[in-house]
Each structure stands twice: as structure tokens, then as C-alpha cells.
Amino acid sequence: MKKILFALAMLAMLASCGKPDPVKPKTDVSGVWELSNVATKASVGSVSVSVYLDLVAGGNFTLYQKIGDGRYTVFSGTWTLSDDDHLSGTYSDGKGWGPYAASVSGNTMKLESAGGKEVDTYSKITAIPESVTSNTY
């Protein structure tokens, strides 16, 4: 009887040792997003900022940004999401950005800079408005 119990205990131990830890699925940040709120711990005045971000599944992005009045500036490049849900990327001119801790809940994405100095909130939309894409430099 002792031999059977010992053998069962050994089998249970071996079975538990061979299983990898479950992998947490990455946050899905792909889609079209509109900046809806910026919370910073440093203020530079009350300048209006408008941002639209298209994170294409597979790693490319297009960003439309307008600061104050005028037209949108268009940026493009590539993005990656690390296993611990940190979003970063490289603009087409080679300059890097990020990482930002990314979290998505429903149609809301939050990007938080290191140290929490900036938290940007984005709302998911179906497409970048034509009024934005036709108003660029």
C-alpha cells in the first residue's frame, strides 16, 4: 500500500512540474483611437490637443496630431506591445517613443508613462474622421 501511495505522489509531482505557467494574453491595443483625456502632473497651459491614433494589427501605426489651432501633423511608424503590456514604437524617421503601460477596458485605452507622470486616455472609434485626414500638412 505504501508503494502505491508513494508512486501516486511521485506521479502527481512529476505531472505538476511539467506544466508551464499559464501565459497572460496580451492586451489588444489594435484599432482606431481618439485622445479623450490627458492627465499630467506638470502643466504647460491650456493648449488644446487633438490626437487620433490608428494602431494597425501587425505593428504599423498612423498618428494625426494637432496642437492648438491649425492643421494636423501626420506621423507613422511601427509599434510593439511587450509581454508585460508596455506599448512602444519607432517613428518612420527612426526616433523611438514609449514605453507606456497599456490597459484596455471595453472601448477605453489608458497609456501611462514611466513613473505615472502622464496618463492618456483614448476612446475607440470606427475610423479617423475625414475632417481630420483632409486637414493635414
Whether the pLDDT of residue 5 is over 60: the answer is: no
Angle at 67 between CA 86 and CA 77, to 5 degrees: 40
Confidence of residue 89 (pLDDT cuts 50, 70, 90): very high
Which pLDDT belongs to residue 69?
87
Looking at per-residue confidence, does 113 or 41 come out higher?
A: 113
pLDDT at 68 (0 to 100): 85
Q: How far apart are the first and last CA of the chain?
A: 82
Res 46: pLDDT: 73
What nine digits make up the cell of 130?
475625414
In this prediction, residues 23-45 reach a mean pLDDT of 79
